[in-house]
Structure 1
Amino acid sequence: MSAQHPAGPVDPVTPLDGNVLAGRLGALFAVEVTTLVVVCGACGASGALAEAVVELDDEAAIVRCRACTHTLFTVLGDDEAPVLRPASLASIAAPAPKP
Structure 2
Amino acid sequence: MTDTTDPVSARRLDGNAAGGPLAALFAVDVTAARSRCAACGSTSALGEHLVYADAPAMVVRCPTCTEVVLRVASREGRMLLDLSGAALLTVPMPVVSDDDT
Is 2:51 the counterpart of 1:54?
Answer: yes
Specify the code of the residue in structure 2 equivalent to 1:32.
D
**Equivalent pairs, count:** 69
| Larger helix share, 1 or 2 | 2
The structure number with the bigger radius of gyration is: 1
Structure 2: state its 5+ residue gaps.
Answer: 1-25, 95-101
Q: Find the partner of 1:87 among 76, 84, 91.
A: 84
The AA in structure 2 aligned to 1:83 is L
Cα deviation 1:30-73 (Å, max 9, x = unaligned): 43111111110111111111110011125210010000011001
Comparing 34-43 and 56-65, the one that deviates more? 56-65
Secondary structure class of the residue paired with 1:73 = strand
RMSD of aligned Cα (Å): 2.3
Large movers: runs of 4+ above 4 Å: none
Q: For residue 63 of structure 1, what is the aligned residue in structure 2?
A: 60
* TM superposition score normalised by structure 2: 0.58
1:59 maps to amino acid: P
